[in-house]
């Protein structure tokens, strides 16, 4: 997680990041549109989870709920930062 956070000082995410992690990287930089573009056309559950998070950031809770269901994840009730950390922590071990 520390290495991932440190990479936020870079101009772009590491090219080896999965689409969901790349989207979370952009989201942490405040680049919602860039993050959304990455996951909106992905069809895997992890991308759906990040998609849900992004719509929660946006304040569109109805749309977020749809994406949480697609991801098979419960609707997050904690802070956005806590959810971001939880998703990153879950997905980082899956990095190839």
Provide the 8-state DSSP code for 92: G
C-alpha to C-alpha distance for 45 and 49, rounded to whole angstroms: 6
C-alpha to C-alpha distance for 21 and 87, rounded to whole angstroms: 9
Q: Which pLDDT value is given to residue 89? A: 95
Please state which of the four CATH numbers 3.30.70, 2.40.30, 1.25.40, 1.10.10 is assigned to the domain occupying 18-94: 1.25.40
pLDDT tens for the 96 residues of the chain, in order: 889 999 999 999 999 999 999 999 999 999 999 999 999 999 999 999 999 999 999 999 999 999 999 999 999 999 999 999 999 999 996 554
C-alpha to C-alpha distance for 59 and 1, rounded to whole angstroms: 26
Q: Which pLDDT value is given to residue 1? A: 84
Q: Which pLDDT value is given to residue 96? A: 46
Q: Name the token pair of 92.
A: 């980082």
Query: Is this model's pTM higher than 0.85 or not?
Result: yes
């Amino acid at each position: 997680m520390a290495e991932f956070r440190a990479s936020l000082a870079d101009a772009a995410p590491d090219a080896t990041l999965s689409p969901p992690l790349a989207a979370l990287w952009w989201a942490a930089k405040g680049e919602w549109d860039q993050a959304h573009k990455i996951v909106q056309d992905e069809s895997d559950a992890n991308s759906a989870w990040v998609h849900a998070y992004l719509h929660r950031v946006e304040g569109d809770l109805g749309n977020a709920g749809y994406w949480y269901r697609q991801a098979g994840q419960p609707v997050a009730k904690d802070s956005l930062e806590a959810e971001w950390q939880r998703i990153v922590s879950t997905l980082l071990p899956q990095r190839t």
